[in-house]
Structure 1
């Protein structure tokens, strides 16, 4: 009985040694390939996807240009109104109005222009937010539609997203499919 225990312990030590060697020697490449095979859970880094997917880059550039143009136009109008307000104030201090009614009328017109400018600011902000939401929806639809096609071939159980410093801090080789997804999306976008 004692000899059987020694033999079993020796076999167990050898088996553990072999497993240890295979695990840390890099000889388990076949195992790594099966990790990301059918039924695997893989992930896409959305930071990389958004900065490398040409459709995303194009949408963002168009949006930023529209935002910049909108802000430039608004700032021009705001500066013009500010100049009118300074002129009004100077004229009022120098008794430049023929009578009080004209001064009050000029002040009402100035206030109305200020209200119109505030209304324009809200309208522009609302339009930009709506466009940004629409761009996000288009981008999300594009990526999810591609992932359906991509996964029809690969048959992963789950494709999750992460960001730099997000939920996936480390993974086995082959589980990050970001580059494949970006390459496929960009190839499809070229068409």
Structure 2
């Protein structure tokens, strides 16, 4: 009988412990759920941001102009080479085999040099624009971080090329706000630069 009472007592003790654990788990879940509900979140379409951000557009235009300018010089040399190559075929029979071999070797060497020059130009522009673009991107990330802190966001996600959000309601989209804020900052920095230049 005493043994039975002890077993019942131990069982009720265990049951109370299980109930206490269950209650604390539910309480924790409620707290977590409340915290999640209170968290201010938003997302930015990073592709749209880079399309509409004035500094990014200016950077793209700068390197497009450089590419066209340097490409024109190279294109003139390529056109001269094409003309010489076309003339070579018509002159080869008239000038004999020895001339054709010598001239052919010269043209081949020129073709290789032009190919190398094209490669070098592309690499140079890629490296220069890459450095500036990396600097721009890290500046944008810092701006978004500061913007998030200032405006009380718990999370700001990114969608677009490097998507980390698979779905979000449109009301959480702050892309336009960020674009406007970034463009305003860029304009004010440009004006400050112009004033510095005027003072010089």
1:133 aligns with 2:130: yes
RMSD of the TM alignment (CA)? Answer: 2.4
Deviation of 1:152 after TM superposition, in Å, equals 2.4
| Residue correspondence of structure 1 range 6-25 to structure 2 within 5 A | none
Match for residue 163 of structure 1?
160
Q: SS state of the match for residue 107, structure 1?
A: helix
The answer as to whether partners of 2:92 and 2:99 remain within 8 angstroms in 1 is: no
Q: Which has the higher contact order (CA 8 A, sep 6+)?
A: 1
1:153-184 superposed Cα distances (whole Å, 9 cap, x missing partner): 123222111129x64544162x2111221111
More helix by share: 2
Unmatched segments (≥5 aa) in structure 1: 1-34
Structure 1: how far apart are the matches of 2:168 and 2:156? Answer: 16
Q: Mark the structure with the bigger radius of gyration.
A: 2
Q: SS state of the match for residue 169, structure 2?
A: coil
Structure 2: how far apart are the matches of 1:80 and 1:172? Answer: 56
1:88-109 superposed Cα distances (whole Å, 9 cap, x missing partner): 111102x235xx4443322221
Match for residue 96 of structure 1?
95
Structure 2: how far apart are the matches of 1:57 and 1:69? Answer: 18
Deviation of 1:78 after TM superposition, in Å, equals 1.4
Q: SS state of the match for residue 156, structure 1?
A: coil
Deviation of 1:41 after TM superposition, in Å, equals 2.4
Structure 2: how far apart are the matches of 1:89 and 1:172? Answer: 65
1:87 aligns with 2:84: no
Unmatched segments (≥5 aa) in structure 2: 1-36, 189-200
TM-score (norm 1): 0.69
Q: SS state of the match for residue 160, structure 1?
A: strand
Structure 2: how far apart are the matches of 1:107 and 1:65? Answer: 35
Structure 2: how far apart are the matches of 1:163 and 1:107? Answer: 51
Report runs of 4+ in structure 1 exceeding 6 Å deviation. Answer: none
Deviation of 1:84 after TM superposition, in Å, equals 0.6
